[in-house]
């Protein structure tokens, strides 16, 4: 059944993968037999309170912002797409359109129209004046 000189094929296809799989299986088996695994430790310490999570700055500490400033902030974060700004701030199409028109009229934002394979694309960028207005 086996021709001479081809026994190395068995080594490649069977023994090498088996040598890699066996240590993993043994590790899983030992982990399952370990009396101090994570599930048992967490269930035995139910009476202990968890540590508080690290302090994160909440939005309530920031100065109150109107919609125009929020839109300007989204532009300064690098969001260029109308739909993404609308989704992040959860405001209506017409309201966002009006705010963007006002920002463009004030010189705080510029609109760049690009054309490509998929069609025309409109990107929104803050100007230096808009950057300064947001961070002051």
Write out pLDDT tens, residues 15-52.
777 788 888 888 888 877 655 554 544 544 555 555 55
pTM of the model: 0.52
What's the domain range around 82? 66-134
Asked if residue 73 belongs to a domain, the reply is yes
| Rounded-to-integer distance, Cα 125 and Cα 105, Å | 14
Q: Please tell me whether residue 84 adopts helix, strand or coil conformation.
A: helix
Task: Kindly report the CATH number assigned to the domain that includes residue 101.
Answer: 1.10.10.10
The answer to whether residue 41 is domain-embedded is no
**Residue 118 CB-half CA count within 13 A:** 2
| Spatial CA neighbour of 122 closest among 73, 90, 83, 92 | 83
- Taking only the tens place, the pLDDT of each residue in 90-118 is 899 999 999 999 999 999 999 999 888 88
Is 18 within the bounds of a domain? Answer: yes
Q: How many domains does the chain have?
A: 2
Q: Quick: pLDDT tens for 69-94.
A: 899 989 999 999 999 999 999 899 99
């Amino acid at each position: 059944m086996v021709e001479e000189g081809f026994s190395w094929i068995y080594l490649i296809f069977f023994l090498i993968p088996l040598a890699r799989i066996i240590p993993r299986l043994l590790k899983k088996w030992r982990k399952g037999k370990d009396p101090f695994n994570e599930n048992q430790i967490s269930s035995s310490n139910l009476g202990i309170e968890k540590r508080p999570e690290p302090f994160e700055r909440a939005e309530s500490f920031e100065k109150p912002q109107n919609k125009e400033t929020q839109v300007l902030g989204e532009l300064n974060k690098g969001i260029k797409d109308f739909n993404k700004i609308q989704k992040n701030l959860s405001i209506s199409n017409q309201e966002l359109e009006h705010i963007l028109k006002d920002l463009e009229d004030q010189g705080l934002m510029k609109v760049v129209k690009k054309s490509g394979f998929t069609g025309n694309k409109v990107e929104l960028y803050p100007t230096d004046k808009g950057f300064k207005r947001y961070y002051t």
